[in-house]
């Protein structure tokens, strides 16, 4: 199972209280994880990636194993620790404004 930690506002929107667990088929990449996340929680469509372009919203970042993967191509494999569920993928809102 893939583990994903969402920012607080998106946890409220998805009505989950903790990290979410996803079953991802095939290679574990940003795209495949987000596809699985949006399939399980359709209310999150458009909140992390643009509805049409599927590009990451500019004030969100993706971290895995303490590394920033935000600028990596979406089909780049995520670390084994993410694929095995040992570590979670963190989706983090940028610190901007008050």
By C-alpha distance, which of 75, 48, 51 is closest to 62? Answer: 48
- Determine, following the binding rule CB under 8 A, whether residue 86 of this chain makes contact with another protein: no
Judged by CB under 8 A, the chain residues 39 through 78 that form the site for another protein are 40-48, 50-52, 57, 59-60
Q: Which is nearer to another protein, 18 or 71 (CB)?
A: 18
CB of 86 to another protein, least distance (A): 22
CB of 97 to another protein, least distance (A): 7
Burial letters for 11-42: b for 16+ Cβ neighbours within 10 Å, e otherwise? beebeeeeebebebeeebbbebbbbbbbeebe
Give the C-alpha distances (Å, rounded to integers) separating 76 from 33, 71, 88: 11, 10, 16
Q: Which residues bind another protein (CB under 8 A)?
A: 7-10, 12-17, 40-48, 50-52, 57, 59-60, 93-94, 96-97
């Amino acid at each position: 199972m893939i583990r994903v930690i969402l920012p607080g506002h998106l946890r409220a929107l998805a009505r989950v209280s903790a990290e979410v667990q996803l079953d991802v088929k095939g290679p574990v990449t940003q795209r495949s994880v987000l596809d699985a996340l949006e399939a399980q929680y359709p209310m999150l469509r458009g909140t992390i990636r643009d509805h049409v372009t599927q590009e990451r919203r500019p004030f969100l970042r993706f971290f895995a194993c303490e590394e920033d993967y935000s600028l990596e191509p979406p089909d780049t494999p995520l670390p084994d620790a993410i694929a095995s569920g040992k570590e979670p993928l963190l989706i983090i809102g940028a610190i901007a404004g008050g």
